[in-house]
Amino acid sequence: SQTIHQWPATLVQPVGSPLSLECTVEGTSNPNLYWYRQAAGRGLQLLFYSVGIGQISSEVPQNLSASRPQDRQFILSSKKLLLSDSGFYLCAWSGGEATGELFFGEGSRLTVL
Amino acid sequence: KQEVTQIPAALSVPEGENLVLNCSFTDSAIYNLQWFRQDPGKGLTSLLLIQSSQREQTSGRLNASLDKSSGRSTLYIAASQPGDSATYLCAVRPVTGRRALTFGSGTRLQVQP
């Protein structure tokens, strides 16, 4: 069966520090991968999605970037965190077809102080 | 631009009641609609996926219906239990464009024992 792992689960970082959140999927190949952010009291916002290695689409201009160095690995990064980057970050995957069911990881809670 | 609305935002019911959660969307050109459950501080768990050609899907005590032409879906929960307490989100995937999901803001359900 397929599983998705995200880490770290919780992170407290000072403003201006770098960020790296990692996500890996097991049990499938060539998945579509997504990073979402869920801010307090708001809905889910799509940040990035990827349909293959090295292929990244950005949804909103922001202080973050994403990379996909391997087929089942998706990384969310920042060189310098802002207070507004605080939130709950969720990685998700769907099958290779564009209309497949979406499955989420457990999320990473980021607090920027 | 697709907009997804969920009403009510919060709902409290006594254990054993049957209940209906509503989801509406503005653009009927969708591939599918997915219902999720989110427990506090956790990721999203997929409950049901309805393809645009389907009218409903069932899983255990859950039944989701889709009326694409009117832009509505309902999630029916039979014989509610305290363990059903969570936030329920619906999301739609468009036919064209990037095909990433658009989410509603969710309905927070509390089932009183």
- How many residue pairs bridge chain A and chain B with CB atoms within 8 Å of each other? 49
Cα A35 from chain centre: 3
> If you average pLDDT over residues B54-76, what whole number do you get?
96
Residues A95/A31, Cβ–Cβ less than 8 Å = yes
CA-to-CA distance for B85 and B94, rounded, in angstroms? 29
Confidence class for position A59, pLDDT limits 50, 70, 90: confident
CA-to-CA distance for B28 and A84, rounded, in angstroms? 34
Residues B6/B23, Cβ–Cβ less than 8 Å = yes
pLDDT in tens, B104-113: 999 999 999 9
Beta-carbon separation of B89 and A34 below 8 A: no
A84 by DSSP, 3-state: which? helix
A46 touches chain B (CB under 8 A): yes
Can you give the pLDDT at residue B17? 97
The more confident residue out of A28 and A97 is A28
Residue A60 has pLDDT above 90, yes or no: no
In chain A, residues with a C-beta closer than 8 Å to the C-beta of B91 are: 44, 102
Can you give the pLDDT at residue A43? 81
Of A34, A59, A106, the CB nearest to B43: A106
Residue B100 has pLDDT above 70, yes or no: yes
- A87 forms beta bridges with A110
Residue A40 has pLDDT above 90, yes or no: no
Q: Lowest-pLDDT range, A39-43, B65-69, B100-104?
A: A39-43
Can you give the pLDDT at residue B89? 97
**DSSP per-residue codes, B28-63:** --EEEEEEEEE-TTS-EEEEEEEETT-SEEEETTEE
CA-to-CA distance for A30 and A19, rounded, in angstroms? 25
Of B44, B51, B105, the CB nearest to A104: B44
